[in-house]
Structure 1
Amino acid sequence: MPDGIPLSRFNQAYSGPGRIGLWKEPSFILDLGGNLAVWCEPSDPASPHRSATPWMVLHGGPGGRLSAAHVAPLRQLGLPWFGFDQRNSGLSEDIDFSAIDTQRFIDDALQLADHLCIDRFHILGGSWGATLALALAAHAPQRVAGLVLRAPFIPWVPRVDAFIGELEQQDPALFKRAFRPGARGRSVFESVLSGSTAEQVLAVRVWNALEMGLLQWARPSTAIHLPDLTPDQQDALLRKYRLQAHFLMHGCFISTEQWVRDVEICATAAWPVAIIQGQKDRICPPGGAIFLSEMLPNSTLHLHADLGHLPDSSTMVQAVSQAVFQLLDV
């Protein structure tokens, strides 16, 4: 570890589940006015990069959770890392929506770094996690060593409306069952947040089914089927998409002007940015990554013709791992 980042603190924090069972329970729980589930792992003693600056890992969503796929590129290189399930996500505790916004997520991330005595870190974030990474880096640029952004999401109303339009095109008849034809933005999110219980359940089931269709590289040739769900699965979907609707309803709590200012701060920083984008990504299309790279002269854009959105393919893991490796030599 570099000076100021005690390995003993990192090893103590990573005392729980072991490398194989990492996702069955957190490394520890951190109470920040509501419990956060935290995972962290020290560098591999056999790694030539064992003294590297730690990596903060930010999952997507909002409403996703930290997974082995998110940290696989770092583990492949034997690098130290830490991350957490964001508020109302994964194994972290639910708190009232009135207390949740992007700044709360930024504060959580920095307080976790402080708890681990980590003064400076790289950030690896994908999709919404890349959006959060940019906001965090702009908020505390002195604490950042570099960014690796996978499939960055641009939190602008036209982009969100285009995403919902893509959902409708997947299966207009199914979309119509939960939302009015041509519904966008606020109308869709209100169905998830303030409809009757039955309306909310139908809305999140349809949203999820259509989104799963978007994750495929080709449009479905037949109507999309709504699978049967257990009560636990239904509750999990409600939890995930209610949080996502809360953020998207409010523009992810980042105005267009604030997002531009954040990117401008990152553009003038001394640290590098790597952007990894699959050209078959239908959730966060390549245009967003290309646009962002043009605004960041300190960035390198890596376009991959045969990759989609998800982080868990071996090809995506290799692509992210290569980008991480290149930042180690900067």
Structure 2
Amino acid sequence: MSRGTAIEAFATQWLDTPDGQQIYLEQSGNPNGIPVIYCHGGPGGGSSPFHRQLFDAALYHIIIFDQRGCGLSRPALQLNNNSTQHLIADMEMIRQHLQIPNWVVAGGSWGSTLALAYGQTYPQYCLGFILRGIFLGREQDIDWLYRAGFGASQVFPDYYQDFLQPITHLVHLDVLQAYQLQLHHQDEAIRLEAALAWSIWESRIATLMPNEFSWGGEMDAQSALALALIEHHYFMHQCFFEPNQLLDNLHKISHLPCNIVHGRYDMICKAENAFSLASRWPDAQLHWVLDAGHSASETGIAKALYQASRAMADRLQTQARTAV
């Protein structure tokens, strides 16, 4: 099947977690193909039917889920029992439920973070990794996107000024602390204003060329609330990581193959993230997309991810034939 062809899910369901949440899970592609689980971005971004198209449906058994509190998972906007460790446990629950011995772990942006964290927890169940827009969950990565004087705010000062608008009266506080007050304010209108500003800031700078949000496009309130509340929750807790955790524990998975796709002009996840990861991973292939920013929907990114999935499938199939 060629890239860009619509792919329908052949199974959808909700899995109950031990703590009472329900995780949306869907399957598409070839049920006898190479299993791949895809981790969406955010955190709080939710999955999309578009994510199915990043894989060759003839070669892959495509498994996609919505992380806690977002997408079709329930309850919506749930922050309790919502941490990286909970999401890793959910992924392992999915693997056991589907009775999959091992799988390729894929993800973009925050999804790359979660994919790496899962892999370092359960390397024995991983065949390899397909990662896009690398985010390593370090304080410097959060600084780059949200704090003045670092990265994105220097490239897009006008958009950043709009991002700060809901917290201009809280200039004495750190930006994340100020947003904590607004996103959890008792006034619903204030909560929504903050969520929209937070989410639109990220959306505006996600592509190399101006997108609809650059020109004042409107954003769905529920999507904005999920993205802002859950992202803020994770970043206030340093993604529930120890400092430099993912790079320090890379030895647990660096014997496995990894295909990395990163936009050269990614303003959300800086290029250094991908370079540092690939430099420490002997079996990683880093592909720079020279005409793209961060978003998987950009043509160059989507094409490179599809090609990366084909390359991973070729490698795994060759290994399987050699082992026989």
TMscore range, shorter length: 0.7 to 0.9
Query: Structure 1 residues 132, 278: closer, same or farther in 2, change over 3 A?
Result: same
Aligned to 1:240: 227
Q: Give the TM-score taking structure 2 as reference length.
A: 0.82
Give, in whole Å, the separation in 2 of the partners of 1:209 and 1:260.
Answer: 30
2:279 pairs with 1:289:
no
Runs of 4+ in 1 over 6 A off after TM superposition: none
Deviation at 1:137, TM superposition (A): 0.3
Aligned to 1:100: 82
Aligned to 1:201: 192
Which amino acid in structure 2 is aligned with residue 255 of structure 1?
E
Amino-acid identity (%) = 25
Which amino acid in structure 2 is aligned with residue 138 of structure 1?
Q
Query: Structure 1 residues 200, 121: closer, same or farther in 2, change over 3 A?
Result: same
Deviation at 1:299, TM superposition (A): 0.8
| Number of residue pairs matched by the alignment | 297
Which amino acid in structure 2 is aligned with residue 163 of structure 1?
L
Aligned to 2:261: 276
Deviation at 1:182, TM superposition (A): 9.0
Which amino acid in structure 2 is aligned with residue 68 of structure 1?
P
2:131 pairs with 1:143:
no
Query: Structure 1 residues 192, 143: closer, same or farther in 2, change over 3 A?
Result: farther
2:193 pairs with 1:212:
no
Which amino acid in structure 1 is aligned with residue 43 of structure 2?
P
2:240 pairs with 1:253:
yes
Q: Aligned match of 2:292 in 292, 299, 307? A: 307
Aligned to 1:175: 163
Q: Aligned match of 1:186 in 173, 176, 179? A: 176
Written as runs of structure 1 = structure 2, the 5 A alignment for 1:25-44 is 27-32=12-17, 33-43=20-30
Aligned to 1:329: 314
**What secondary structure does 2:162 align onto?**
helix
Gapped runs of 5+ residues in structure 2? 1-5, 316-324
Query: Structure 1 residues 26, 185: closer, same or farther in 2, change over 3 A?
Result: farther
Aligned to 2:140: 158
Give, in whole Å, the separation in 1 of the partners of 2:230 and 2:96.
Answer: 26
Give, in whole Å, the separation in 2 of the partners of 1:170 and 1:159.
Answer: 21
Gapped runs of 5+ residues in structure 1? 1-18, 45-50
Give, in whole Å, the separation in 2 of the partners of 1:317 and 1:182.
Answer: 41
Give, in whole Å, the separation in 2 of the partners of 1:57 and 1:293.
Answer: 20
The answer as to whether partners of 2:23 and 2:65 remain within 8 angstroms in 1 is yes
Deviates further, 131-140 or 79-88: 79-88
Query: Structure 1 residues 172, 144: closer, same or farther in 2, change over 3 A?
Result: closer
Give, in whole Å, the separation in 2 of the partners of 1:294 and 1:20.
Answer: 35
